[in-house]
Amino acid sequence: MDLSSKRARLFVTSGMAVVCLGLAASSFAQTAQAPAGPSAAKIAVENRRAAFTLIGNSFRWFGAAAKGAAPYDEAEAKKRASRIGFLVNFLDDAFPEDSNLGEPASKAKGDAWTNRADFEKKLAAFKANARAFEQTVANEKGATDGFKAAVASLGQDCKGCHDSYKLK
Ligand code: HEC
């Protein structure tokens, strides 16, 4: 092998080393720059959807108990109402400005942000009513008229907000 071909090989080898280093550096940079997890907006959407799923699953029984389709049970009623009272805490910061992600990430309508004052009013009323509901359920201790009225009223909050601010 003559000197020039040795040089050429050296050049190729060192060139490859540079490329490898470059790749390693860029993949390191990508790892270093990759966000630690989902964005704050995405987490807000996940939290509200999770909270609403649990609220819905906890509330469903009340509808059945109020109609007489499920037998009333005091312990069951108290447990479910207290869960709903707690779960609404997750809605405090669940609709930040930048979390209007649209479908498929979210089923919240853009109107929840454009009609902000009305949406927040409905949300605040729902949170207060959900906490009052817990108290009413504890006081009524049965499928009384008061219990049925409270269930219907909280159910109206769900429907009232969904009709305006939730996609089907
Ligand atoms: C102030 C408005 C508001 C009220 C009150 C409200 N919701 Fe919702 N709910 C929403 C919005 C907006 C969404 C869509 C959230 C998203 O996808 O980003 C939603 C989503 C849901 C979901 C779907 C969760 C999922 O992602 O699968 C369920 C179930 C639900 N709500 C149940 C209820 C029940 C039950 C009540 C009443 C006890 C209620 N909601 C009250 C606004 C409301």
Nearest alpha carbon, ligand 1 atom 25: 49
Neighbours of 166 (CB within 10 A): 16
Measured in whole angstroms, the distance separating CA 152 from the mean position of its chain's CA atoms is 25
Sign, CA torsion 154/159/161/167: positive
Is residue 165 lining ligand 1, measured as CB closer than 6 Å?
A: yes
Measured in whole angstroms, the distance separating CA 144 from the mean position of its chain's CA atoms is 33
- For residues 164 and 121, the answer to whether their CB atoms sit within 8 Å is no
Nearest alpha carbon, ligand 1 atom 36: 158
Encode pLDDT of 31-69 as tens digits.
556 667 999 999 999 999 999 999 999 999 999 999 999
Spatial distance between the Cα atoms of 73 and 152, rounded to a whole number of angstroms: 18
Nearest alpha carbon, ligand 1 atom 18: 106
Q: What is the mean pLDDT of the chain?
A: 88
Predicted confidence pLDDT, tens digits, the chain (168 residues): 555 555 555 555 555 555 444 444 444 455 556 667 999 999 999 999 999 999 999 999 999 999 999 999 999 999 999 999 999 999 999 999 999 999 999 999 999 999 999 999 999 999 999 999 999 999 999 999 999 999 999 999 999 999 999 999
Is residue 83 lining ligand 1, measured as CB closer than 6 Å?
A: no
Is residue 52 lining ligand 1, measured as CB closer than 6 Å?
A: yes
What separation in Å is there between the alpha carbon of 162 and the centre of ligand 1?
7
Spatial distance between the Cα atoms of 3 and 11, rounded to a whole number of angstroms: 12
